[in-house]
Each structure stands twice: as C-alpha cells, then as structure tokens.
Chains A and B, each alone.
Chain A
Amino acid sequence: ERRSSSLQHKSLFSCVTGQKQPQHHEKWSLSPEEFEIWDRVYRIKEGDGVKEPVLPRSQFETLENLEEVPKQQEEARQELSLSEWSIWQNHPLPTSTVDHSDRCYHFIGIMELIELLRHEQGDCSYDLEMQPHLQTEDVHVRRKKSHLATSSSL
C-alpha cells in the first residue's frame, strides 16, 4: 500500500524538491541520484518474489474490441482485482482527503442490495416491489417469448 511507504516517499520527495540537486529540476526524468533511490527502494526486481502489478484492461463482451491486449508473460504479473473483496464493498470505506463520489455511493448501495438479494430463494423482493408500479405505456410491451420470471406478471 502507498501509505506504508509514505516515509520513504517523503525522503524521495525532499530529494526531488530539496536544494541538493537543483540542476535536475527541469528534467522530466529521474536524476542519477533519484534513479539510484528508485532502483534500490521501489523498483520490483526478479528476486523480490513480488509480481509486477497490472490493471485489468477493459473488454466489451457485446462489442468488437479495438484495444489490443498486449501479450506478456502472465506469471510475472499480478492483475489487480476489483472484485476479489466484494464482500467488503457494501459500506463506505474510510477516506483521506478525497470524499466518496455519488457514483461511489451508488456502487455501495448496489452492493448492499446484492447482499440482501443473495439469500433469497425463488421470488425476488425487488421484483414484487416493482410490479404494482409498472405502467405499460412506459415500456415497449413485447409478446411473451420464454418463461422468464420478469415477464410472467404481464
């Protein structure tokens, strides 16, 4: 986690902003001194026993996918999961300086709903709650095709 290395971050930060090496300030890249620190403290190397973290790529099941997935050795990479800890997601997690967004609260609300629905068998409470409010003029009513539950009430 980022915060765990914040002390080291600070020392690196003071290296970057400090008065020691003003000649490197204008460059976008690391100075030799900064590179040395990065290489020693942060860089993931083969012997570390840590896989390189990568973010999952977006893929559309229903569309032609334009973005090419780069073929890399899978074993050396750890794809960061956004679903592994889903049971932790039905309440807002602590914040530091950035508040949760509306979108984030919607996500939490849906995870709460899923948690409630998870234990249901057969009839769905959401379904039963919605049925009396449906007005046929709001929707494209279709002839019944299959035995799917949602259309059985219409």
Chain B
Amino acid sequence: VSLQRLKAAVHYTVGCLCEDVAEDKAMQFSKQSIAAISEVTFRQCETFAKDLEMFARHAKRSTVTTEDVKLLARRSSSLLKYITQKSEELAASNMEQKEKKKKKSGAAKGRRISEEQEAAVTESEDSNMA
C-alpha cells in the first residue's frame, strides 16, 4: 500500500468527521483546514505507532495492548478517562461476541459456517469502533 493511498484514506475520513462537526456546530471548514488536519492525523499516527511499540517493548511484549494505548492518553485525565471507558466497553462487547460464537459453533458444525460467523463478528467489531 502506497503512502499516498493511506494519506488519501485519512483525508477522506477526516473530511467526513469534519463534516459532522461542521453540521453540529453550524460552521464551515475550508478545504485547506481539512487538508491540514489530515496531515496532522497522518503524521500523528507515526508518533503513536512508535510510542506504542516502545511501550509494549518496555513491558517485554511484542504485541501492543490496550494498556499501551492508555499510556498515549496519560497527559490528560479527561482523555484517559474517555479512553479507559471505551476500552472497557470494547472488552465487554468482545466477551459477549465470544460467548455467542461459542454457543453457535457448538450447535452448527462445519468450517464454512464458523468462518461466516467470524466475518460477522469482525464486522460488528468494526461498527463498534466507529
């Protein structure tokens, strides 16, 4: 995947989010300000990625966990509270999905079905994130 393609995807999504804010606050964003926010977001991803990798390594892990993500929010107690709350919500809904999956795959055997369920779970996880 090219950098430009990633940037374009970030730019599109930032545009959508700014549109929501614009509607909510009844104010307009210039295209240039959306471009600047996109570039900030894109570059901030690099900072986040490097920090997350270091936090995980500091805890002798090679997998980044939600605890590492919370460290990104450590400077503001408001932000930390929000992230922690979201993390708990996600953990709870993941547990719920796993329970459901267990029950279903217990009843219906066969690879295809469980694969479809996997896809369904991932999809609902995605919508939770959004």
Judge whether B78 and A148 touch: CB under 8 Å.
no
Check A60 for interface membership: any CB of B closer than 8 A: yes
List residues of chain B with CB within 8 A of the CB of A106. Answer: 43-44, 46-47
CB distance A114 to B130 under 8 Å? no
Asked if A63 and B13 sit within 8 Å, CB to CB, the answer is no
**Judging by beta carbons under 8 Å apart, are B15 and A150 in contact?**
yes
Chain A residues within an 8 Å CB radius of B22: 146, 148
Q: Could you tell me if A146 and B78 are in contact, using CB atoms closer than 8 angstroms? A: no
Instruction: Determine the interface band of chain A, counting residues with CB < 8 A from chain B.
Output: 35 or more
Whole-angstrom distance between the Cβ of B77 and the nearest chain A Cβ = 5
- Interface 1/0 per residue, B68-108 and A, CB below 8 Å: 00000001111101100000000000000000000000000
Interface flags for A61-73 (1: CB within 8 Å of B; 0: not) read 0011111000000
Cβ of A148 and Cβ of B15 under 8 Å apart? yes
CB contacts (< 8 Å) of A27 on chain B: these are none
- A20 interfacial contact with B, CB 8 Å: no
Please tell me the number of chain B residues within 8 Å of chain A, measured between CB atoms: 40
> Could you say which residues of chain B place their CB within 8 Å of the CB of A109?
39, 43
Report if A11 contacts B (CB, 8 A).
Answer: no
A97 on interface, CB distance cutoff 8 Å: no
With A67-B78, A148-B19, A148-B22 as known contacts, state yes or no: A113 contacts B36, CB within 8 Å: yes
Does the CB pair A140–B82 fall under 8 Å? no
What's the Cα separation between A120 and B121 when bound, in Å? 45
Answer yes or no: B23 CB below 8 A from chain A CBs: yes
CB of A127 closer than 8 Å to a CB of B: yes
Please tell me if the beta carbons of A150 and B8 are within 8 angstroms of each other in the complex: no
- Contact yes or no, A138 B5, CB < 8 A: yes
Stretch among B27-35, B52-60, B111-119 lining the A interface = B27-35
Given contacts A126-B32, A148-B19, contact A131 B76 (CB under 8 A): no
Q: Which residues of A sit under 8 angstroms from B78, Cβ to Cβ?
A: 60, 63-67
Q: Min CB distance, A133 to chain B, in Å? A: 4
Contact residues, A116-154 vs B (CB, 8 A): 117-118, 120, 123-124, 126-127, 129-135, 138-140, 142, 145-146, 148-151, 154
Instruction: List the 7 shortest-distance A-B pairs measured between CB atoms, nearest first.
Output: A150-B15, A126-B35, A124-B31, A138-B9, A133-B8, A117-B32, A134-B8
29 contacts between A and B (CB under 8 A): A58-B75, A60-B76, A60-B78, A60-B79, A64-B78, A66-B78, A67-B76, A106-B44, A109-B39, A109-B43, A110-B39, A110-B40, A113-B39, A117-B32, A126-B38, A127-B31, A127-B35, A130-B7, A130-B12, A130-B38, A133-B5, A133-B8, A134-B9, A135-B5, A139-B9, A140-B130, A145-B19, A145-B23, A146-B19
